[in-house]
């Protein structure tokens, strides 16, 4: 099954390009969030992003023929490399949403970079906080989030 076929069986509450909202708790305008994120990234990535519960993500992963992951319950989001999908689970607070999106998109960038990609395999053996992929993604997300909110604040305070 393809992602499109799997998503057809679900209620899509919002969709913009390859971003899908499946959870009624997602209260943001998906089109606006999309444009805000890509205004702060050098490239537009056409990888699907699904905003849903962890349980729903596991069902989608299973429907796509991959094994569910019990460790998702600790995540705010995840780039599922094998399927080429970003899942976002925490979106109640806008800052967390933005930071998680930047973090997961950094993983996409790492995966695209042939000189960096090997770290995904070597990092598997390390504790989460010691993984080069995670250290880099957290740093990137913090920098981008800080810039995003500083720019937003400056725009709002223009006389």
Q: Computed over its alpha carbons, how large is the radius of gyration of the chain?
A: 16
Q: Which of 86, 82, 76, 78 is nearest to 21 (CA)?
A: 86
Higher pLDDT, 34 or 82: 34
Residue 11: is its pLDDT beyond 70?
yes
Mean pLDDT of 75-95: 94
Within 10 A of 32 (CB to CB), how many other CB atoms are there?
10
User: Mean pLDDT, to the nearest integer, of 125-148?
Assistant: 95
Contacts of 155 (CB under 8 A, 6+ apart): none
Secondary structure letter of residue 64 according to DSSP? T
Residue 71 has pLDDT above 90, yes or no: no
- At 153, is the pLDDT very low, low, confident or very high (cuts 50, 70, 90)? confident
Q: Average pLDDT in the 23-37 region?
A: 97
State the DSSP code for 57: H
Residue 48: both structure tokens together: 């699907």
On whether the CB atoms of residues 106 and 140 are closer than 8 A, the answer is yes
Q: How many domains does the chain have?
A: 1
Task: Say which residues have a Cβ less than 8 Å from residue 10's Cβ, sequence separation at least 6.
Answer: 22, 56, 60
Residue with the larger pLDDT of the pair 99 and 124: 99
Judge whether 27 and 10 are in contact, CB under 8 Å. no
Question: What pLDDT band is residue 8 in, cutting at 50, 70 and 90?
Answer: very high
* Domain span including residue 56: 3-156
Alpha helix (H) residue ranges in the chain: 3-8, 30-38, 54-63, 94-112, 118-123, 132-156
pLDDT at 151: 87
Contact 88, 51 (CB under 8 A): yes
Q: What is the pLDDT of residue 148?
A: 95
């Amino acid at each position: 099954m393809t992602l499109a076929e799997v998503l057809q069986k679900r209620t899509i509450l919002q969709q913009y390009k390859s971003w899908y909202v499946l959870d009624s708790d997602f209260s943001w305008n998906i089109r606006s969030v999309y444009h805000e994120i890509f205004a702060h990234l050098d490239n537009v990535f056409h990888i699907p992003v699904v905003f849903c519960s962890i349980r729903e993500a596991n069902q989608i992963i299973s429907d796509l023929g991959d094994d569910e992951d019990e460790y998702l319950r600790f995540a705010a989001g995840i780039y599922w490399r094998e399927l080429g999908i970003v899942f976002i689970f925490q979106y109640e607070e806008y800052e967390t949403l933005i930071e998680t999106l930047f973090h997961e998109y950094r993983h996409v960038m790492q995966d695209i970079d042939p000189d960096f990609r090997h770290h995904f395999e070597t990092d598997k053996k390390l504790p989460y906080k010691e993984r080069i992929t995670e250290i880099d993604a957290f740093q990137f997300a913090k920098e981008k989030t800080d810039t995003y909110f500083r720019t937003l604040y400056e725009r709002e305070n223009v006389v």
